[in-house]
Amino acid sequence: MHNISFVPAKDGLDISDKVKALMEKVITAAIAHEGHTFPCDVYIMITDDGGICQLNNEHRGKNSPTDVLSFPMQEFTPGEEYIPSPLELDPDTGALMLGDIVISLDRAKAQAEEFNHSLTRELCFLCAHSILHLLGYDHELSEEDEKIHFALQEELLESCGISRDVGDE
């Protein structure tokens, strides 16, 4: 139903099919949580610190690496029904483009070590964080929005069976 495509930015930055499947599960769970029944497209690019630093500088004016960037293509209001117009849908697939997720594999590895959990768990966490941005959540608006965003991230991970002790292959 949903088209979730992984795009490595550079050779050697690909992740396992098992991790991709878990990330897809998180995205699908987030879309279902919002009640969206239409097919959606999401692109995930795996890059390194240099690649994400460049994008962070170009799009946010911050010349430093970050763990994840979100590039939403729609304007959702969490909790409100969204009915896409036929013009918003891809004519070939009938899917709505939600946007792009860009993850720094370097940052994900460092954060997994820092928080003492697996790279798999960190990549799924970053995916949950970012898909919520694509679906209209924004933890930077207020303290209340931050609580909602972060609680929902954990709820999605838990519902997908991705605990802090999930291991790597």
With contact defined as beta carbons under 8 Å apart, do 144 and 13 qualify?
A: no
pTM score:
0.92
Instruction: Look at residues 54, 41, 141, 148 and name the one whose alpha carbon lies nearest to residue 95.
Output: 41
How many Å apart are CA 117 and CA 110, to the nearest integer?
Answer: 10
Q: Does pLDDT of 54 surpass 90? A: yes
Q: Does pLDDT of 97 surpass 80? A: yes
Q: pLDDT at position 144, please?
A: 87
Q: pLDDT at position 14, please?
A: 81
* CATH code of the region 3-159: 3.40.390.30
Q: Does pLDDT of 169 surpass 70? A: no
| 3-class DSSP assignment, residue 37 | coil
Domain ranges for the chain, please list them: 3-159
How many Å apart are CA 124 and CA 156, to the nearest integer?
Answer: 10
Average confidence (pLDDT) over 53-80: 93
